[in-house]
Structure 1
Amino acid sequence: MFSIIIPLYDKATFIRRAIDSVLNQSFKDYEIIVVNDGSTDGGEELVEKFYGNKVKLIQQTNQGVSVARNVGIAEAKNPWIAFLDADDYWHPKYLEFVSKVVSENPNIGIIGTHYDARELEVDPKLQYFHLDNYFRQAIRNTRFFTSATVLRKNFFDNHAGFDPGLSLGEDIDVWLRASLFFGDGVYIQNTLVYYGQEDDYRATQKNHHINNSLIPKLMQAEYYGAAIKDSECTESEFLRFRNQWVLLTLFPFFQKTENKEQMGYIISQIPNKYFPITAFYKLPFEMLSMVFNAPLAVKFFRNYMKFFFRYIYK
């Protein structure tokens, strides 16, 4: 039923924990595909030594996590794709609960699960809800997280997978396009996925160029039209989500001076009705760069934006 894709790059410390969490699943209809993306710490040797034919190990030169996931998807034999990062792990009932959701909701195409960086539930009883009007909710919480998301494989048969050109937001790009393709999904409320934060080299901790983020891609006029299929989300509803999500996500890029020109262009594409926020973004770049390096200022500005999105632009 499930093809589980695990990209591996210098995660020797964690890879056995991740694979063991799959082998310990109460639901057994799955295959494990580990794509070694040019590791230098011997992680792939651990996979070969301890798991043998229990895992399909694919070797490639280092090309990034998006390429690794896409290679794994191309090799997948089952109709559902489950993703697991090498430093995360699953509750033993993760696949069992996902399979129950599938059987009770045969028309859905995307399923998310609650995750935590501390602990998992001890004796969970399945609880879930439908993400009705997903793009109205997603501005507050996009819900989906890589190690806690399962997709029907036919999405990748019809659309590009993870974008290798993105170093930030490549996963959100897939969740948004899949939600437009399949329509609203389901969210499992049980905490069944552990989000490992031990790795100091998390992509979210890096200083990114905005052109390598999802923002410019999301601003393209054809983004909605190329993805929409079964979702009832209208283009105007999607653009409302897009504009608000971009405004909420933009401020960290002020930390890199190379982003100045592109950010100015992006802000100019946001409708004038958001002027209480865009006016702030149009202040001198150098001043905002200092402001957004102060945690208290960032917290204040995020709360300022959330107030407008919850009460003015709701």
Structure 2
Amino acid sequence: MNPKVSVIIPNYNHAPFLQQRFDTVFNQTFQDFEVILLDDASTDGSLELLQRYAQHPKVSQLVLNTKNSGSPFKQWKKGIDLAQGAYIWIAESDDYCELNFLETLLKLFEKNTVLVYCASEIINFLGEQEGRHVWADALDKKRWTKSYTNTGENEILEYLRFRNTITNASAVVFKKKAVDDIAFPVHMTFCGDWYIWIELLKQGEIAYTCQRLNYFRRHRDTTKSVKPLPLEQKRVHEYIEIVMKHSNGFSRFINRSKYYWIFDEWRDKFKSNHKIKNLPLDFLIYNTFRKF
């Protein structure tokens, strides 16, 4: 009999955090799951711990890359292709969670629900808690303080097309059958999760619990940290790709001010530390918004 949940743990150079990740996955109060371990050519000693846990009875796969894939979403796709469960949990290797994470989130699924998620607590490199993750509050300061359900169409129209309001994959569980037909964004480095959430929610409903069951670690190696200029350019291009793709169906509802954060983020990251030397990208963003 196949497990109900496939837990995919994609790792790249997160040796300091792996033990806590494993402890909070393998000791879940809900136990009907398999674990798929992936490594993207780590060089920090992760392999020893991964290979040791490969013998755990819950581990169905250990896949070790000899060359880095260049995209976390290639790893996601690899794990999903191997998954046998009806539900997928991408448990990022530098995060951790409460032991009742799966038990709580699985109860939120109804017939038409394709994605459920919980509130996240931000933690730093040392594991110190820094408060609730508030990235989505720019759209609505009160919404994520309460649990809710919504249709996928409304969630996209009202929130998700403006910015990635589901900011940490470790907080999400989704139905595997809903992702099977998605054209996976393996060309993306930063924003593939945003793309995937939108594509999933075109197929059904969403549920959210305001319980902080996930701990989202922020450090210099996370995708949201400041990167070298060429990578930050790629990040902005990915933002624009998603905005342009998913705004077409809602053209009469466009409010350009909802997207100014993209320009502001680019400006602030580089102007503040005097690294901004390539202004044409600023004008690319501006000209893109003028098309709305």
TM-score bracket for this pair, using the shorter chain length: 0.7 to 0.9
Distance in 2 between residues matched to 1:141 and 1:10, nearest whole Å: 25
Distance in 1 between residues matched to 2:50 and 2:26, nearest whole Å: 13
Report percent identity of matched pairs.
23
Task: Evaluate the alpha carbon distance shift between residue 23 and residue 119 of structure 1 in structure 2; reply closer, same or farther with a 3 A threshold.
Answer: farther
Match of 1:286 in 2: none
Distance in 2 between residues matched to 1:272 and 1:32, nearest whole Å: 45
Task: Evaluate the alpha carbon distance shift between residue 50 and residue 137 of structure 1 in structure 2; reply closer, same or farther with a 3 A threshold.
Answer: closer
Q: Aligned to 1:187, which of 208, 229, 241?
A: 208
Match of 1:128 in 2: 147
Q: Deviations over 1:142-173 (max 9, x none)?
A: 14421101121123311123x33333222222
Match of 1:19 in 2: 22
Q: Deviations over 1:234-263 (max 9, x none)?
A: 5237x627x444322222323265653344
Match of 1:200 in 2: 220
The offset of 1:107, in angstroms, is 0.9
The offset of 1:19, in angstroms, is 1.4
Q: Deviations over 1:220-241 (max 9, x none)?
A: 4x5467xxxxxxxx5237x627
Match of 2:262 in 1: 249
Match of 2:159 in 1: 137
Aligned-partner residue type, residue 164 of structure 1: V
Match of 2:79 in 1: 72
Query: Which secondary structure does the structure 1 equivalent of 2:14 belong to?
Result: coil
* Structure 2 gaps, min length 5: 123-128, 132-145
> Does structure 2 conserve the Cα–Cα contact (< 8 Å) formed by 1:9 and 1:38?
yes
Matches within 5 A, 1:249-288: 249-254=262-267, 255=270, 257=276, 260-271=279-290
Match of 2:125 in 1: none
Match of 1:280 in 2: none
- Residues paired across the two proteins, number: 252
Match of 2:196 in 1: 174
Matched, 1:240 2:254: yes
Q: Bigger shift: 259-268 or 1-10?
A: 259-268
Distance in 1 between residues matched to 2:235 and 2:116, nearest whole Å: 27
> Does structure 1 conserve the Cα–Cα contact (< 8 Å) formed by 2:263 and 2:285?
no
Q: Aligned to 1:152, which of 163, 175, 181?
A: 175
Question: Normalising by the residue count of structure 1, what TM-score does the alignment of the two structures yield?
Answer: 0.71
Distance in 1 between residues matched to 2:30 and 2:177, nearest whole Å: 22
The offset of 1:20, in angstroms, is 1.4
Distance in 1 between residues matched to 2:203 and 2:103, nearest whole Å: 22
* Structure 1 gaps, min length 5: 121-126, 226-233, 274-314
Distance in 1 between residues matched to 2:234 and 2:199, nearest whole Å: 19
Distance in 2 between residues matched to 1:184 and 1:85, nearest whole Å: 24
Match of 2:68 in 1: 62
Task: Evaluate the alpha carbon distance shift between residue 50 and residue 183 of structure 1 in structure 2; reply closer, same or farther with a 3 A threshold.
Answer: closer
Query: Which secondary structure does the structure 1 equivalent of 2:261 belong to?
Result: helix
Aligned-partner residue type, residue 280 of structure 2: E
Between Structure 1 and Structure 2, which shows a larger proportion of helix residues?
1
Match of 1:307 in 2: none
Query: Which secondary structure does the structure 2 equivalent of 1:92 belong to?
Result: coil
Task: Evaluate the alpha carbon distance shift between residue 50 and residue 218 of structure 1 in structure 2; reply closer, same or farther with a 3 A threshold.
Answer: closer
Query: Which secondary structure does the structure 2 equivalent of 1:14 belong to?
Result: helix
Between Structure 1 and Structure 2, which shows a larger proportion of strand residues?
2
The offset of 1:95, in angstroms, is 0.5
Distance in 2 between residues matched to 1:62 and 1:262, nearest whole Å: 28
Distance in 1 between residues matched to 2:26 and 2:243, nearest whole Å: 41
Q: Bigger shift: 152-161 or 136-145?
A: 136-145
User: For the pair shown, which has the larger CA radius of gyration, 1 or 2?
Assistant: 1
Aligned-partner residue type, residue 265 of structure 1: L
Match of 1:10 in 2: 13
Aligned-partner residue type, residue 217 of structure 2: G
Task: Evaluate the alpha carbon distance shift between residue 69 and residue 259 of structure 1 in structure 2; reply closer, same or farther with a 3 A threshold.
Answer: farther
Q: Deviations over 1:277-307 (max 9, x none)?
A: xxxxxxxxxxxxxxxxxxxxxxxxxxxxxxx
Distance in 2 between residues matched to 1:97 and 1:153, nearest whole Å: 18
Question: Normalising by the residue count of structure 2, what TM-score does the alignment of the two structures yield?
Answer: 0.76
Higher relative contact order (CA 8 A, sep 6+): 2
Task: Evaluate the alpha carbon distance shift between residue 100 and residue 45 of structure 1 in structure 2; reply closer, same or farther with a 3 A threshold.
Answer: same
